[in-house]
Structure 1
């Protein structure tokens, strides 16, 4: 998953992220951000995610593991 952290950082409107960062800790975290992540994962990784699955991931690491589990 090349450039995963860079892409997610752009969606979250920050310069960089750590795998341990909690998703809800970002200022840009809202329903539109979740929709952006859904669209990004569908386009880039050909993985379908639900808003609920993303919310349950809790962290950047959890999100990455979720995507990998669906590939």
Structure 2
């Protein structure tokens, strides 16, 4: 489920950057300020994703490993 959400989110980012690039090529928008804000936003999203990945990789498997060590008769 998480992989599907991440895949759709990445597709939205690609679509967003494509539209922004096309609008900049046709001089519809001024891309200088938009690029800085977009890259800053992506960096913030990247850091948040790293924190979430750390939580899933470190904290949640520890709970599962405790249950796997028990032998059911």
Higher relative CO (Cα under 8 Å, sequence separation at least 6) belongs to: 1
Q: Same fold (TM over 0.5)?
A: no
Q: Which structure would you say has the larger Rg?
A: 2
Tell me the TM-score normalized by structure 2. Answer: 0.31
TM normalised by structure 1 equals 0.31
